[in-house]
Amino acid sequence: MPAPLIVALAGGVGGAKLAEGLQAHLGARLTVVVNTADDCDRHGLRVMPDHDTVLYTLAGIEQAALGWGIEGDTHAVMNQLGVYGEPTWFSLGDRDLALHIARAAALRRGDRPTEACLAAQRALGLAARILPMTDSPVATAVETDDGWLEFQEYFVHRRQEPEVRGLRFDGLEAARPTPEVAAALEEATAIVIGPSNPLVSIGPILAVPRMRDRLAAARGRGVPVAAVSPIIGGRALKGPADRMLASLGHESSALGVARLYADLVDLFVLDDADAELAPEIEALGLRTLVTDTVMGDDASRARLAGAVLEALEPT
Amino acid sequence: MPAPLIVALAGGVGGAKLAEGLQAHLGARLTVVVNTADDCDRHGLRVMPDHDTVLYTLAGIEQAALGWGIEGDTHAVMNQLGVYGEPTWFSLGDRDLALHIARAAALRRGDRPTEACLAAQRALGLAARILPMTDSPVATAVETDDGWLEFQEYFVHRRQEPEVRGLRFDGLEAARPTPEVAAALEEATAIVIGPSNPLVSIGPILAVPRMRDRLAAARGRGVPVAAVSPIIGGRALKGPADRMLASLGHESSALGVARLYADLVDLFVLDDADAELAPEIEALGLRTLVTDTVMGDDASRARLAGAVLEALEPT
């Protein structure tokens, strides 16, 4: 049997935790494709929240309490930016800012986002590889009762409080999977959709033109695809996925998520707490794995990843 | 007698110290025009060393031992930029970086450099006003035995060690004094050339097309112009002015500096240590003020500034 080459799709915190578990098993045989539709310009610097959350998590330096940023980071620059009248609600630590500065400089020198991100990953000594879903700019906008909001305005500034009435991914039609993403999907022996928000994290990845075709082609070659539910007992462990599913007409449950992925995946992984939903999910034509999907520490991340990898092995 | 409106021309440390002394006497009636030919892009951010040295000095937060940067600043970002492979020889502190980030962001939003600098000055509560000599990019290049070097490469990275064979100010022909500089010179009741390097700090300011015409026009209206020697006993207190004067064929002395400014100034200020040069300087057609020009502390800065202002008053 050839060594597995796993492609994981991830947004921020939840996907990053599963990616860390997968990296513990796979090292360099793991490629994580991250959502870039949350990326934004702050203070003239390019910030890539999902890439960077996965980066810091795989490097083992993520701010544990929040899941993003760097543990123990200082905020000297941000405090002084406030003196100069720059908005400070999107708080970036000093060491975190160094990444945004270095990456913005690389982009201005002509590097593609993928190249700039890979350089940062090498600098932090990552075993696995993280690929932006596309090198083209894509920007999520969120429709609320106050009108359309830029994603981070909704997510960070307004703390996800407004009810989400609609979503739009500007730039998506012109976006394409990068050559690196295309090659990773070509070589993959299995694909894992992480427990990230299915609408604003996994959604944009899957909506990149030709991305679904490439996933379908992989499945056509017998490559199994798994998805891990980000919803446990009807709730998202972190973030607004549960309320967003409900306000956009989906069921806020592992079953609701499984319905969104039904035509894409073979294996659906749900938490023990949702075991009673397994028959309905199987009725959609999916295999299920019912297990503990809460990833509180490194050991539980590796355990869940191991269970998913095992369930994906050819029987 | 109308309240004096003083325009000072300045480069970095020496000019900044005199400017601080002048600000103590004049407050908002002081405008400092700074050299911008040392400005450079670092990590995709615009750094304006002379403006910022004057800014921090007038704000009372300059790093006393070095004369540039902010006292007690930390270096978390720069250390991390090194991890990402960015060159770190041009060390920028965290709070200092905030200025470069905020200003670069303002420039990308379409502000002129002058506007971005004035905003930073307001943020730090400056009494006086600092104006870049021009809003156009000008870049000093230094000819050495190793060829032409970008100014900061010569000044910081190579620690001013290479012998200077020539100077070039790229972009100078297209540069013009800003409307703010033109207006300040129009309204000035006296002009003071600070004790900065006459070749690479004051030189570019005077070489901006139409700048000398505007100074000459002011003198034609009876506005007196003073210059303070940056050379004491044949040596520069800081920086390479003495060696640069010598290697470019000038005398490294107060007299050598006076010769460079002879057609521009009425009053030449030199140190007690150089009193014996006063007759030769007067023979150039200049009045002289011989006094203590070493500005070790705030009191000595204010004392020198007061002596210069007094010597400039109509007799």
Summarize pLDDT for B217-233 with one digit per residue, the tens.
999 999 999 999 999 99
| Interatomic CA distance for residues A140 and A149, integer angstroms | 9
User: Which residues constitute the domain of residue B37?
Assistant: 6-138+171-312
Tokens 């020889």 map to which residue? B89
The reply to whether A108 touches chain B by the CB within 8 Å rule is: yes
Here the tokens at position A120 are 């940062």
The reply to whether B215 touches chain A by the CB within 8 Å rule is: no
| Interatomic CA distance for residues B226 and B264, integer angstroms | 9
Q: Is residue B248 part of a domain?
A: yes
Q: Is residue B134 part of a domain?
A: yes
Q: Is the pLDDT of residue B15 over 90?
A: yes
The reply to whether A87 touches chain B by the CB within 8 Å rule is: no
Please report the pLDDT score of residue A64 as a whole number.
Answer: 83
User: What are the chain B neighbours of A100 within 8 Å (beta carbons)?
Assistant: none
Please report the pLDDT score of residue B108 as a whole number.
Answer: 92
Strands (DSSP E) contained in chain B are: 6-10, 30-34, 40-42, 45-47, 129-132, 139-144, 147-150, 166-170, 190-193, 225-228, 231-232, 235-236, 267-271, 287-291
Please report the pLDDT score of residue A315 as a whole number.
Answer: 64
Q: Which residue, B149, B169, B189, sits at the end of a domain?
A: B169
> Is-contact A203 A167, C-beta < 8 A?
yes
Task: Return the number of other C-beta atoms located less than 10 Å from residue A296's C-beta.
Answer: 10
Q: Would you call B77 and A99 a contact, using CB atoms and an 8 Å cutoff?
A: no
Q: Would you call B74 and A74 a contact, using CB atoms and an 8 Å cutoff?
A: yes
Q: Is residue A163 part of a domain?
A: no
Q: pLDDT band for B238, please (50, 70, 90 cuts).
A: confident
B42 and B148 housed in the same domain = no
B158 and B275 housed in the same domain = no
B161 and B242 housed in the same domain = no
B123 and B235 housed in the same domain = yes
Q: pLDDT band for B156, please (50, 70, 90 cuts).
A: confident
Measured CA to CA in angstroms, residue A128 lies from A14, A53, A228, A238, B11 at distances of 17, 14, 20, 24, 49
B124 and B57 housed in the same domain = yes
Closest by Cα among A162, A216, A208 to A186? A216
Here the tokens at position A134 are 């596309």
Q: Is residue A295 part of a domain?
A: yes
pLDDT, one tens digit per residue, over B240-282 is 999 999 999 999 999 999 999 999 999 999 999 999 999 999 9
User: What are the chain B neighbours of A95 within 8 Å (beta carbons)?
Assistant: 76-77, 79-80
> Is-contact A184 A33, C-beta < 8 A?
yes
pLDDT, one tens digit per residue, over A97-153 is 999 999 999 999 999 999 999 999 999 999 999 999 999 999 999 999 999 999 989
The reply to whether B110 touches chain A by the CB within 8 Å rule is: no
B187 and B39 housed in the same domain = yes
ipTM value for the complex: 0.90
Q: Is residue A221 part of a domain?
A: yes
Mean pLDDT, rounded, for B154-166: 91
Task: Return the number of other C-beta atoms located less than 10 Å from residue A121's C-beta.
Answer: 21
B265 and B299 housed in the same domain = yes
> Is-contact B177 B157, C-beta < 8 A?
no
Tokens 């976006």 map to which residue? A175
Q: Is the pLDDT of residue B67 over 80?
A: no
CB pairs under 8 A between A and B: 100
B17 and B158 housed in the same domain = no
Residues of chain A with pLDDT under 70: 1-2, 315
User: What are the chain B neighbours of A78 within 8 Å (beta carbons)?
Assistant: 98
pLDDT, one tens digit per residue, over B92-123 is 999 999 999 999 999 999 999 999 999 999 99
What mean pLDDT value characterizes chain B? 95
Q: Which of B61, B73, B77 is the best mutation test for A, with the most CBs of A within 10 A?
A: B77
Q: Give the gap in angstroms from C-alpha A151 to the nearest C-alpha of chain B.
A: 20
Please report the pLDDT score of residue B315 as a whole number.
Answer: 64
Q: Is the pLDDT of residue B239 over 90?
A: no
B165 and B57 housed in the same domain = no
Q: Is the pLDDT of residue B12 over 70?
A: yes
The tally of domains found in chain B comes to 2
Closest by Cα among A34, A30, A4 to A200? A34
Please report the pLDDT score of residue A2 as a whole number.
Answer: 58
Of A78, A79, A105, the CB nearest to B44: A105
B63 and B208 housed in the same domain = yes
The shares of helix, strand and coil residues in chain B, as percent rounded to the nearest 5, are 45, 20, 35
Please report the pLDDT score of residue B2 as a whole number.
Answer: 58
Q: Is residue B1 part of a domain?
A: no
B185 and B105 housed in the same domain = yes
| Interatomic CA distance for residues B212 and B9, integer angstroms | 12
Measured CA to CA in angstroms, residue A85 lies from A95, A208, A272, B48 at distances of 21, 37, 49, 19
CATH code assigned at A305: 3.40.50.10680
Q: Is residue A164 part of a domain?
A: no
Q: Would you say the C-alpha torsion B125, B126, B127, B131 has a positive or negative sign?
A: negative
Mean pLDDT, rounded, for B62-81: 92
B84 and B231 housed in the same domain = yes
The reply to whether A38 touches chain B by the CB within 8 Å rule is: no
Q: Would you call B85 and A44 a contact, using CB atoms and an 8 Å cutoff?
A: no
First to last CA, chain B: 12
pLDDT, one tens digit per residue, over A20-30 is 999 999 999 99
Q: Is residue B270 part of a domain?
A: yes
